[in-house]
Structure 1
Amino acid sequence: MLLRIHHAAIICSDYATSKRFYTETLGLRVLAEHYRAERQSYKLDLVLPDGSQIELFSFPAAPPRPSYPEACGLRHLAFAVADVAQCKVELESKGLVVEDIRVDAYTGRRFVFFADPDGLPLELYEE
């Protein structure tokens, strides 16, 4: 029935800051950008090389997302990468705080966490 994840939707508090983060810092490509006046909301469609997408939304006065302690619901968004250590260095060179690299006890794969401008946990998972 299900084929793959098509997109993940993210609501941000500062559209310009998050747009810059996802496009310039992480390098996602813009598919479309729309301002919906009736909702005072932007919708930015971003795409990764495999075709999967992120929908970035802005809404006035959206409540903050509880992250710590971890709340029920979506825990984090993970991106596949070829080399976690190289990506960690690149993100840190752009001023991001990146946690120490860890190894998945079950798969033996390396992974690392960092956060978007609103504190949404993002993971890089080495393929």
Structure 2
Amino acid sequence: MKKTLVLGATPDSSRYAYLASNKLVRHGHEIVNVGIKKGDVAGVPIEEAKELHQDVDTVTLYIGTRNQPPLYDYILGTNPKRIIFNPGTENDELEQMARERGIETVEGCTLVMLSTGQY
């Protein structure tokens, strides 16, 4: 299964990042929750964007475009195989930077991808 870093993880059960973390775990994927809020989601603690995880297959974004630039080095530094830009996180600049490094970019919804077997 694909190890997924959920960027923008939150313990707020009304947020899509929370739903995605739980659904990823239910589908058998290992997750890393990264965010600014304290707590845990799907039994995995939320950590700050400090430790670069080198074994990540996918980064799924749940932070808005304007909040992404300070995290470019972190996101790209994890060297994922792909980055999923969930609705509201689309970012041409980051997508271009990722493609230049050979990272696949997907504008889609992690929840829908999991539900339809496209993950």
Give TM-score scaled by structure 2 length.
0.29
Structure with bigger gyration radius: 1
Structure having the higher strand fraction is 1
Structure having the higher helix fraction is 2
